[in-house]
Structures are given as structure tokens and as C-alpha cells.
Amino acid sequence: QQKVQQSPESLIVPEGGMASLNCTFSDRNSQYFWWYRQHSGEGPKALMSIFSNGDKKEGRFTAHLNKASLYVSLHIKDSQPSDSALYFCAGASSGSWQLIFGSGTQLTVMP
């Protein structure tokens, strides 16, 4: 059974600051990774997917993947109060029916 270590559990950054979130997966068959964001009272929404080694940038968000160490990270540049939410990493293997989620990082951006 896939285990996912996500850190930190909670993170407070000032508006305009950088937020960094991390995950490590245990299943060597993991190939596909996502970051999801969940605002209070809503369902999780996919923020970014990353399937290849290296960095992927979308606006203020940069995801990083190292497949050898099964490590993914998310960096949020110029954080905004609207970025305050619960962030999950998630991973799946090829053809798998299961998307396994990390335990979440509660991000608070202080104005």
C-alpha cells in the first residue's frame, strides 16, 4: 500500500512570500503526480500535474519532481491571501485505479 509523507503539516507565510511544500512517496511504481488545493467548504481541485523529472512552472506555482527519490515539491511565489487553503500531493501508478493523497499542508498567507 502506497505511503505518502507530506510536510510541513502547516505553514504560515507573509503576503508576497514564498511557500514550499514537500512530499515523498513509497511506491516505486508511482509515475504520475499532482498537487491539489482545497479551500474551506469545497472539494479538492487539481492545481498542477507533473509526470516528468524536473521543474514545471505555471504562473506563480512551480512543481518539482525527482522520480529516483519519489520526491515532489510545490513552491508558491508571491503568495496571496487567496492561496490560503489545504494543499495535497497525490500520486498514481500507470493503469492504477487509485489516486493516493498525502496528509495535507494547511497554508495560511497573512496579509
Partner 1 sequence: ETAVFQTPNYHVTQVGNEVSFNCKQTLGHDTMYWYKQDSKKLLKIMFSYNNKQLIVNETVPRRFSPQSSDKAHLNLRIKSVEPEDSAVYLCASSLGQGRNTLYFGAGTRLSVL
- Contact residues for partner 1 (CB under 8 A)? 31-32, 34, 38, 41-46, 49, 51, 86, 88, 92-101, 103-104
Cβ distance to partner 1 smaller for residue 7 or 96: 96
The least CB distance from residue 40 to partner 1, in Å, is: 10
In angstroms, the Cα distances linking 50 to 13, 14, 111 are 24, 27, 30
Cβ distance to partner 1 smaller for residue 19 or 50: 50
Cβ distance to partner 1 smaller for residue 41 or 111: 41
What whole-number distance in Å separates Cα of residue 36 and Cα of residue 4?
14
